[in-house]
Amino acid sequence: MAGTVVAAAAGPLAIHLAGETGRVTGQADALSVSTTRPGPAGRQPAASPVSTPLLAPGHYRARHAKPAASPSAHSRGPAAGLPVHHRHRRPVPAPPVYANPFRAVSGLIPERVDQGVDFGGSGPVYAIGDGVITNATGNSPGWPGGGWITYQLTKGPAAGLEVYVAEDVTPTVQVGQHVTSSTQIATMFNGGDGIETGWAQPGGLSAESQLPVAGGISGGGPFPTMVGLNFEELLQSLSVPASPYAGGPGSGLLPSNYPSHW
């Protein structure tokens, strides 16, 4: 009889525990989906959505949502994490070292290449680049028109070399003056001879082509000289119109201290 009473008492308890266990374990699934209740006959069942699970915060998302992927080093790229103004900044190009010395001359006419390069026209003549004036006269024997201006370049691939501007020019600078590509060094006029510009000897005594190291070619030719063609290439790189005689073979030599490419 005692055993029967114990069994009878245990039965409802077991059923009660099993029911409680079922309600606990199934509560999340039952509350996380929409359920329907059976209605009276002939009527549609009423929907009873359950919107908020009774689980701990974040539990549902942890079970059903995919974690957000963190960007890898490859997807972010080398600029990731940098401020916008650093990501899009581009290097500023350096200003040109030399400039067209005849950019303001009116009616510029390219002529022959001899010891230097000849031109016709009138107007201001500028220095090619930074330099120091070593000669400046409007009356130089041996040069038609009389003008003779030289300056030694102090910057760029031709730093240390001297440039001359001669013949139909009047100097607008003085010896020892520092100049840049914005400095007018002479005024070119229509005197019938045009002007000549090219590489000068050290000290600015005359054209470089007359020295033995350059072949010893003076005003009698043969032309064009190698030194003259080299200066013509420099002028063309500065957008000066090419001489019609620029393509011919050169006479003499180009000294080793002169740049061969511009």
Q: What angle do CA 16, 18, 20 make, to 5 degrees?
A: 70
Residue 17 forms part of a structural domain: no
pLDDT (average), residues 168-172: 98
Please report whether residue 137 resides in a domain: yes
Distance CA(43)–CA(139), nearest Å, equals 121
> In whole angstroms, what is the distance from residue 129 CA to residue 94 CA?
15
Whether 79 and 52 have beta carbons less than 8 Å apart is answered as no
Closest to 198 measured CA to CA, from 217, 176, 183, 174: 217
Residue 250 pLDDT exceeds 90: yes
Whether residue 52 is contained in a domain is answered as no
Please choose, from the candidates 80, 129, 123, 71, the residue with its C-alpha nearest in 3D space to the C-alpha of residue 102: 123
Domain with 173, as residue range(s), is 106-237
| Alpha-carbon span 216 to 222, nearest angstrom | 10
In a domain, 25, yes or no: no
Residues 156-169: what's their mean pLDDT? 98
Neighbours of 202 (CB within 10 A): 12
Q: What is the rounded distance in angstroms from the CA atom of residue 59 to the CA atom of residue 28?
A: 10
Residue 196 belongs to a domain with what CATH number?
Answer: 2.70.70.10
Written as one letter, the residue type at 186 is A
Three-class DSSP category at 165: strand
Q: Are 164 and 204 in contact (CB under 8 A)?
A: yes
222 prior amide bond cis, ω within 30: yes
- What's the whole-model pTM score? 0.67
Q: What is the DSSP string of 10-45?
A: HHHHHHHHHHHHHHHHHHHHHHSS-EEE--STTSPP
- Cα dist from 199 to 204, 231, 252, whole Å: 9, 7, 14
Three-state DSSP at 96 gives coil
Q: How far apart are CA 133 and CA 173, in angstroms?
A: 8
> In the predicted model, is pLDDT for residue 166 greater than 70?
yes
Asked if the structure places residue 193 within a domain, the reply is yes
Q: Is 236 exposed, middle or buried (0-12, 13-18, 19+ CB in 10 A)?
A: middle
Q: How many domains does the chain have?
A: 1
**86 assigned to some structural domain:** no
What are the CA-CA distances from residue 172 to residues 50, 121, 155 (Å)? 95, 17, 22
Mean pLDDT of the chain: 79
User: What are 185-234's pLDDT values in tens digits?
Assistant: 999 999 999 999 999 999 999 999 999 999 999 999 999 999 999 999 99
Q: How far is CA 234 from the centre of its chain?
A: 23
| The pLDDT of residue 61 | 45
Section 143-148 average pLDDT: 94
Tell me if 197 is assigned to some domain. yes
Give the single-character DSSP code of 233.
Answer: H
150 found inside a domain: yes
Is 80 exceeded by the pLDDT of residue 40?
A: no
The answer to whether residue 237 scores a pLDDT higher than 70 is: yes
